């Protein structure tokens, strides 16, 4: 079968040259697991660090795994994370289409070219797909390897179904280089004559991946280390075509513990799960960047990096081949740091939906509550439970009034509330300062420690032992009427 060289040359003429080009090539599974997010981030960072081009390619050839709406999850996650792409299905580009199923007809001529070069062959043997996919590779000489050109032509003319297989040399070794794993050499006899084009004319994933990376001019391939074992076969393909081999960066898996990879199926969180749990995108990205990469030189001690700082600092030599363990406690630390670093306005904006989950009363100002929370918050999802008392005074135990450090017990608290209620009633303009001054002056005139007065006021106002903010802030936010109502209820409780 004649190879359509014009078609191949036209595609090759479109390949941009002279710039770093990287791609993130997710399969649309419906969520972004942490390892994928890391691959996306590293790939994006390599492009941006080198003023290169970042490409999004959707690898959807495995139709069995397709999930409705899954591609949108990819776009949404990338956009949310700020990992902007320069070329991709939605924005186009010179080497499209960028969705693998839309490229389906493009691979056969490349396989035919390989046949012509002797690096692949038509195979007419009847093997079931499951035999092909079982992964149990047992190199038995395939009779089709040795068919003459005439026999092949006759079979094709007779319409015999075929696959095209890679012709792996039976002897010798193949060496490939990976940035973090170094040189890896395998014996060719351990590699199988993998199928490149299936009986239905469509490419296998392994073949499409190589052709696409070439036609898209990819200079750096970043992907999970599960693809390491395929890399020698990829190299043989590149060599047979005479194409330049990209720089490989295989990343070790992100682990749940020393033995197990993180897995969504086993309940480990995906990116979306982390966001739903109240982690900030920037904190997740910062943490994920350090799962398998570390900065060098004067930055080697730095932990907190904005995306822009990562672009400056990111160097592929810092990628480690040892598997990284995902440590949620560490992520908590990053998240708390990021929450504290937000401006009060930004924090109020991200916290408000969580505050409103439990504080429905529109008269209560969510921004004022946010100001109390910022310094003490590790996760946004902790918020609703911390601030629920603003909406409704919970049932609380009279024992809450007893506190050693504040020198209080129910009797003392009764006296304190009795004095506090008129002092607060006399405030005309209910500001934080007015509430503060009224209580501080009252403590002075009663000759008690501030805490002895503040403790019962806070307990009666909040009905909780632990609250964000002290008595003054809580009373201020509740407003005068509600504060006095609650203090009177406290007094009743104390008899
Ligand atoms: N589609 C593959 C995956 O999601 C990507 C493999 C690659 O980047 O080469 O695992």
**Ligand 1 atom nearest to CA at 224:** 10
Closest atom of ligand 1 to 205 CA is 1
What pLDDT sits at residue 132?
58
Question: Bridge partners of 487?
Answer: none
Which of 55, 227, 246, 247 is the best mutation target for the ligand 1 pocket, counting ligand atoms within 8 Å of the beta carbon and taking the most?
Answer: 227
Provide the strand spans (E) within 40-110. Answer: 53-56
Percentage of the chain surpassing pLDDT 90?
Answer: 90
pTM of the model: 0.89
Confidence of residue 225 (pLDDT cuts 50, 70, 90): very high
Apex CA 230: angle with CA 225 and CA 236, to 5°? 135
| CA 202 / ligand 1 centre spacing (Å) | 18
Task: List pLDDT tens digits, range 413-470.
Answer: 999 999 999 999 999 999 999 999 999 999 999 999 999 999 999 999 999 999 999 9
What element of type H or E holds 163? strand 163-166
Higher pLDDT, 378 or 62: 378
Q: Which pLDDT score is estimated for 138?
A: 62
State if residue 209 touches ligand 1 by the CB under 6 angstroms criterion: yes
Q: Which among 23, 26, 41, 219 is the best mutation to test ligand 1's pocket, defined by most ligand atoms within 8 Å of the CB?
A: 26
Determine the distance separating the centroid of ligand 1 and the alpha carbon of 206, expressed in angstroms.
Answer: 10
133 vs 172: which has the higher pLDDT: 172
Contact yes or no for 87/56 (Cβ under 8 A): yes
Mean pLDDT of 249-271: 93
Q: Is 26 in the pocket of ligand 1 (CB under 6 A)?
A: yes
CB distance 223 to 251 below 8 Å: yes
pLDDT of residue 264: 84
Q: Which of 6, 189, 264, 464 is catalytic?
A: 264
pLDDT digits 0-9 by tens, 457-486: 999 999 999 999 999 999 999 999 999 999
pLDDT of residue 214: 98
Number of C-alpha atoms within 13 angstroms, CB side, residue 386? 22
Q: Which residue has the least CA distance to atom 4 on ligand 1?
A: 26
Distances (CA, A) of 32 to 200, 305, 423: 30, 22, 57
Q: What is the pLDDT of residue 258?
A: 92
How does the average pLDDT of the chain come out, rounded?
94
> What percentage of the chain has pLDDT greater than the value 70?
96
Residue 117 is a catalytic residue: no
The answer to whether residues 289 and 44 touch, using CB atoms and an 8 Å cutoff, is: no
Residue 63 scores a pLDDT above 90: no
Average pLDDT over residues 87-111: 96
Q: Check whether 131 has a pLDDT greater than 90.
A: no
Q: Which atom of ligand 1 is nearest to the CA of 39?
A: 8
87 Cβ inside 6 Å of ligand 1: no
Q: How far is the CA of 194 from the centre of ligand 1 (A)?
A: 18
- State whether residue 195 is helix, strand or coil: strand
Q: Would you say the CB of residue 223 lies under 6 angstroms from ligand 1?
A: yes
Question: What would the pLDDT profile of 351-396 be if each residue is shown by its tens digit?
Answer: 999 999 999 999 999 999 999 999 989 899 999 999 999 999 999 9
């Amino acid at each position: 079968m004649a190879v359509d060289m014009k078609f191949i040359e036209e595609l090759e003429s479109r390949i941009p040259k002279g710039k770093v080009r990287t791609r993130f090539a997710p399969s649309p599974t419906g969520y972004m697991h942490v390892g994928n997010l890391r691959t996306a981030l590293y790939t994006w960072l390599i492009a941006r660090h080198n003023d290169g081009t970042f490409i999004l390619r959707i690898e959807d050839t495995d139709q069995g795994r397709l999930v409705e709406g899954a591609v949108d999850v990819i776009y949404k996650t990338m956009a949310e994370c700020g990992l902007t792409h320069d070329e991709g299905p939605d924005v186009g580009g010179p080497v499209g289409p960028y969705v693998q199923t839309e490229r389906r007809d493009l691979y056969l001529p490349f396989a035919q070219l390989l046949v012509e070069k002797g690096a692949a062959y038509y195979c007419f043997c009847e093997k079931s797909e499951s035999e092909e996919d079982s992964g149990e590779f047992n190199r038995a000489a395939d009779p089709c390897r040795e068919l003459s050109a005439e026999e092949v032509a006759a079979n094709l003319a007779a319409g015999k179904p075929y696959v095209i297989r890679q012709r792996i040399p039976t002897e010798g070794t193949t060496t490939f280089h990976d940035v973090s794993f170094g040189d890896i050499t395998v014996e060719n006899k351990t590699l199988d004559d993998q199928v490149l084009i299936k009986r239905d004319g469509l490419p296998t994933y392994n073949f499409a991946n190589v052709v696409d990376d070439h036609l898209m001019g990819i200079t750096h391939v970043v992907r999970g280390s599960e693809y390491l074992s395929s890399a020698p076969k990829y190299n043989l393909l590149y060599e047979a075509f005479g194409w330049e081999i990209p720089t490989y960066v295989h990343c070790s898996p992100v682990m749940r513990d020393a033995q197990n990879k993180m897995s969504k199926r086993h309940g480990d969180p995906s990116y979306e799960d982390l966001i739903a749990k109240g982690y900030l995108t920037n904190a997740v990205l910062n943490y994920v960047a350090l799962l398998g990469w570390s900065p060098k030189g004067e930055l080697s001690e730095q932990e907190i990096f904005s995306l822009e700082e990562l672009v400056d600092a990111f160097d592929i030599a810092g990628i480690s081949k040892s598997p990284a363990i995902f440590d949620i406690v560490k992520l908590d630390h990053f998240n708390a740091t990021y929450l504290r670093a937000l401006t009060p306005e930004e924090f109020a904006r991200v916290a408000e939906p969580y505050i409103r989950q439990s504080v429905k009363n529109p008269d209560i100002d969510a921004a004022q509550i946010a100001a109390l929370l910022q310094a003490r918050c590790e996760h946004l999802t902790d918020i609703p439970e911390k601030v629920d008392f603003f909406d409704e005074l919970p049932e609380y135990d009279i024992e809450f009034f007893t506190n050693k450090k504040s020198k209080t017990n129910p009797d003392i608290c009764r006296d304190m509330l009795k004095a506090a209620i008129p002092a607060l009633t006399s405030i005309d303009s209910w500001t934080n300062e007015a509430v503060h001054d009224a209580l501080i002056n009252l403590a002075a005139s009663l000759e008690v420690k501030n805490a002895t007065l503040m403790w019962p006021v806070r307990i009666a106002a909040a009905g909780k032992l632990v609250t964000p903010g002290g008595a003054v802030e809580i009373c201020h936010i509740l407003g005068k009427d509600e504060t006095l109502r609650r203090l009177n209820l406290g007094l009743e409780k104390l008899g």
